[in-house]
Amino acid sequence: MTHRRILITGGAGFIGSNLALNWKRVFPESEVIALDNLKRRGSELALPRLRSGGVSFQHGDVRTPEDLEAAGPVDLMIECSAEPSVHAGYGQSPGYLINTNLTGLIHCLEHLRRTGGDLIFLSSSRVYPIAPLRALPLVRQGDRLVAEADAVRPGWSAAGIGEDFPLGGARSLYGATKLAAELLVEEYRAMYGLRAVIDRCGVIAGPWQMGKVDQGFVVLWMARHMFGGSLSYSGFGGQGVQVRDILHVDDLFALLTRQAADLSRLDGAVFNAGGGPEVSVSLRELTALCADLTGRRLDIAGDPATRPADIPWYVTDNAAVCRATGWRPERDVRTILGDIHHWLMAERCRLAPILGG
């Protein structure tokens, strides 16, 4: 293992805390530091988990360079801090989103420029623009939208969205901060010799995600079935047929360990990474699966209004990342939901006030 000291920004968040604990468990000789400003409601619940898993917690903010300096030199930084909602900034100030996702990333890059260390940056499928995603030729089949037979578009097939999907057009401010961050990573590679891999993640799900209406819908769906509260099928006519692929956070961890171990070969790569077509689900299908697991059926209303950043279908084409790393997602939708259900049952007293409606 070449990376002995690992800094995970956003390390008390859903992905960051799972990566930090898994990293320390699989590489016990490594020193893992989780830096987080605890902005996300529920992220404070990670602190005892991190402590008992041997991960050091540093209360800090990526908007403040001194907080990164305080972490000292690291061999690898995994950048997971963010305002992660695609709806952030609409109808309100984009200040926090831009300052955290973009200025914060620049501070992370500066820290690595000064002290050395590799970078794995968690980007997003939301770098792809909204209008062409909405224009994909889709038809309803049962409870979900599917690709029209034989339809072909650049960067798209029934296997999903590839890295060559055209990037022209608006993509939400969230997506724009991620794409701008990717460009800066590329410049730091070219100018300062930074070694970096970028993963454009689709929907990630699993235990310890503090799902809310604007981010983390898989956990939100299950939590509302268990703890009560309302859900609605919002957008695209309010039918609930929109589709996403889902990746279990432990499958993401497996990918990142492969990338970290092979960084000199993978340096500069930009991958789409997600569950892929086999691990995809529509909202209606998700409702049925949650009802099966919980024994509770919710009456879910349709809200036909489509919000500006909503898209009807996103499935990751994992071909490039699988080819380059030998990785593939192992957990299917039922396994992911089973893990979430088990976690919510075990932690219901602490989680019901946060995740219930």
Ligand X SMILES: NC(=O)c1ccc[n+]([C@@H]2O[C@H](COP(=O)([O-])OP(=O)(O)OC[C@H]3O[C@@H](n4cnc5c(N)ncnc54)[C@H](O)[C@@H]3O)[C@@H](O)[C@H]2O)c1
Nearer to ligand X, 43 or 282 (CB): 43
Rg (CA), the chain: 19
With tokens 């593939």, the residue in question is: 328
Count the residues of the shown chain that bind ligand X, applying the rule CB under 6 A.
26
Under the binding rule (CB under 6 A), the answer on residue 10 touching ligand X is yes
For ligand X, the closer of residues 93 and 264 by Cβ is 93
Q: Is 175 in the site for ligand X (CB under 6 A)?
A: no
Interacting residues with ligand X between 269 and 308 (CB under 6 A): none
In the complex, least distance from residue 102 CB atom to ligand X, rounded to whole angstroms: 11
Does the protein bind ligand X through residue 204 (CB under 6 A)? yes
Q: Which residue is nearest to ligand X (CB)?
A: 13
Residue span binding ligand X (CB under 6 A) among the ranges 31-39, 51-59, 181-189, 234-242: 31-39
Q: Residue 93: CA atoms inside 13 Å, Cβ hemisphere, count?
A: 3
Based on the shown chain and the rule CB under 6 A, indicate whether residue 311 belongs to the binding site for ligand X.
Answer: no
40 interacts with ligand X by CB under 6 A: yes
Token reading at 301: 């209303």
CA distance 14 to 40: 9
Cα–Cα distances in Å, from 84 out to 81, 96, 257? 8, 11, 23
Closer residue to ligand X, CB minimum distance, 51 or 297: 51
CA distance 6 to 31: 6
The answer to the question of residue 134 lying near ligand X (CB under 6 A) is: no
Select from 36, 182, 251, 317 the one that contacts ligand X (CB under 6 A).
36
Contact region for ligand X (CB under 6 A) — 37-45, 112-120, 185-193, 264-272? 37-45
Q: To the nearest whole angstrom, how small is the minimum distance from the Cβ of residue 157 to ligand X?
A: 21
d(CA 198, CA 37): 23
197 touches ligand X (CB under 6 A) = no
Backbone angles phi, psi at 215, to 5 degrees: -170, 130
Q: Which of 22, 37, 172, 280 is close enough to bind ligand X by CB under 6 A?
A: 37
User: Please, which of residues 42-61 interact with ligand X by CB under 6 A?
Assistant: 43, 61
* 39 touches ligand X by CB under 6 A: yes
Q: In the range 77-116, which residues lie near ligand X by CB under 6 A?
A: 80-82, 84, 100, 104
CB of 188 to ligand X, least distance (A): 17
Give the CA diameter of the chain.
57
Q: Which residues of this chain interact with ligand X, rule CB under 6 A?
A: 10, 12-16, 36-40, 43, 61-63, 80-82, 84, 100, 104, 122, 124, 201, 203-204
